Amino acid sequence: MKNFFLKDNMQMTVNSSSATDAIAICKDWNSIDWDHCLLEVKKLQLRIARWERLRNRRRVKALQWLLTHSFAAKCLAVKRVSQNRGHRTAGIDGIVMSSPTDKWEMVKSLNRRGYKSLPLRRIYILKSDGKKRRPLGLPCMKDRAMQALHTMALLPISEMNADWNSYGFRPERGTADAIEKLFNGLATKRSSQWVLEGDIKSCFDLISHDWILNHIPMDKKVLSQWLKSGFVESGKLFPTNYGTPQGGLASPTIANMVLDVIEDLIGKRFGSAKLDGDYSKQRKNPILFVRYADDFVVIGRTREVLEQEVMPMIQMFLKERGLELSETKTKITHIHDGFDFLGQNVRKYQLKNGIEKLLIKPSKTNIKTFLTSIRKIIRSERSIGQAELIRLLNPKIRGWTYYHRSVVSSEIFSAVDKEIWKALWKWSVRRHPNKGKRWIKSRYFHRIELRDWIFRAINTEKGAKVIDTLCFASSVPIVRHTKIKQQATPFDPSYERYFQERTSQKWKNNKSGKLKVMALWKRQKGTCPVCLEKVTKLSNWIVYWHKGKLEGGSDKLDNLSLLHPKCARGDKPKFVIPHRPHQ
């Protein structure tokens, strides 16, 4: 072990010297080697995760310091802040990074010494119900970059200590995994029947600062700057005595670390506890806990167990962190009555033959919200052309249908198409009050093969050239989601092949992924480079990464090959170079 520590010290020295060389080589923003930056940061994150698993806090702290002071991490932090969705929204100082020179200056200014965060700019956005407003605190650009930098060093620690059934704001996890876990826990005959729907009241705004400073393993000086920065509203400065601001890049990771361990506490008492890295004894009345951000679901055998034992335990856990359950949103329901979670309704139905069947569908509230937003766009855009309207609606329709395509939603997709058609017909008739219905139909709606009434923009002046076509929700195929292994994390090298296979599976159901696979198939002339046999749908296929992402490999075609699943088995498949006769 002593030699192992010495080796790690030597690696730290080599990395620090390589970072210094990188600074000397890079003269401006456009000369940065992004592949080198990704590789350096990934190596440090893997080492942080390894030592965190061994519970060596001293080594973890040293590696965090090395990552937050590295040139590669600073470049990636600035890149993330300058290219995300809110990069054009300024903070209280009004500064936006728009040019490569601004980004390069920001990289050089990310230093701990002399750092002082500015107050947040308070704005409000509407909640999903369209009535209440949610407060957001927008940091300035430098504070966002500092949060992105320190989050890189905090994320591996969070992943190593996270609850296995926590799916919100975590890499390689999403809402579909949480829904699939609920299906697995409720679908069988012997499944528990009672559900505790939990919602934490103003979770991000009420977390105790003392608890965060005492338990979140990161630079306390920088962390306290974020927590105590205050916010500006209507020209006045208000203090922040508790909570972590919604809108900050570090807030989701910190909130996850605050809420972790609930699953362990419940499991140790009722069964399915995670002990020493594995799930232990299954008891007679196990409790299933699934959490996504600050929304969670607890499934138990009886109402009394959830109400008298589980809920007081969760309330006590939250009280230590300055939080409490929302009285209006927290309730206990039976699975036959159903409940809404993450925009979908989970309910067990009684069929005619006496068999019970669990069905998960898009919730009525979610459908209503989606159709309201579609009708609002159509009503507000009365004067724009048909092609422009289609370009506004298509991303909305595709996004909503792709979100719900892994559950029972075929009939709902058809009903949604009907409602969208009604709104578009009203839009078309309003534009031509003096024209007949046949003329309007021929102007805006067309036939494709056997399907009629398709909203399609055609430029008749240039030889009937099709400009754009509105997509149908019912045209999106239903694809069942495969849940992620609950203990899998991208910071564990033993799961690298597993995540590659998941990425390959996603590409089969993704439009951009299919294009990349087709490009690989054409480049290999339809043959597997290992066995030199044809790659077809019947033989199945898998994408193989020659250089893994943990080693700095990318998703570029030069690093990928299309193989048969049997040929991809093993650590390193042997590629065959086909014989080519001399010309």
pLDDT digits 0-9 by tens, 418-458: 999 999 999 999 999 999 999 999 999 999 888 899 998 88
Mean pLDDT, to the nearest integer, of 569-574? Answer: 71
Q: Compute the chain's Rg from CA coordinates.
A: 27
**Quick one: DSSP state of residue 168?**
T
Mean pLDDT, to the nearest integer, of 279-292? Answer: 70
Q: How far apart, in whole angstroms, are the C-alpha atoms of residue 44 and residue 32?
A: 19
- The candidate with the shortest Cα–Cα distance to 65, out of 50, 77, 48, is 48
3-state secondary structure string across 315-336: HHHHHCCCCCECCCCCEEEECC
- The candidate with the shortest Cα–Cα distance to 152, out of 81, 207, 204, is 81
Task: Identify the helix (H) or strand (E) that includes residue 504.
Answer: helix 496-508
- The candidate with the shortest Cα–Cα distance to 81, out of 97, 100, 101, is 97
Q: What is the pLDDT of residues 150-206, one digit of tens each?
A: 999 999 999 999 999 999 999 999 999 999 999 998 998 888 899 999 989 888 888
Which one has a higher pLDDT value, 359 or 134? 359
Q: Residue 47: is its pLDDT beyond 90?
A: yes
For the whole model, what pTM was predicted? 0.86
Q: What is the pLDDT of residues 294-316, one digit of tens each?
A: 899 999 989 999 999 999 999 99
Give the helix ranges, DSSP H, for 90-219: 100-109, 141-161, 175-186, 203-206, 209-215
Q: How far apart, in whole angstroms, are the C-alpha atoms of residue 268 and residue 276?
A: 12
> In which band, very low, low, confident or very high, does the pLDDT at 468 lie, cut at 50, 70 and 90?
confident
Average pLDDT for the chain: 86
pLDDT of 242: 87
Q: Residue 11: is its pLDDT beyond 50?
A: no
**How far is C-alpha 293 from the geometric centre of its chain's CA atoms?**
11
- The candidate with the shortest Cα–Cα distance to 338, out of 362, 317, 374, is 362
> In which band, very low, low, confident or very high, does the pLDDT at 506 lie, cut at 50, 70 and 90?
confident
Q: What is the pLDDT of residues 522-570, one digit of tens each?
A: 888 888 888 888 888 788 888 888 888 777 778 888 888 888 888 887 6
Q: How far apart, in whole angstroms, are the C-alpha atoms of residue 228 and residue 119?
A: 9
Task: Identify the helix (H) or strand (E) that includes residue 123.
Answer: strand 120-126
pLDDT of 3: 40
Q: Residue 27: is its pLDDT beyond 90?
A: no
Q: Which residues of 171-194 are buried (b: 16+ CB within 10 A; e: fewer)?
A: ebbbbbbbbbbbbebbeeeebbbb
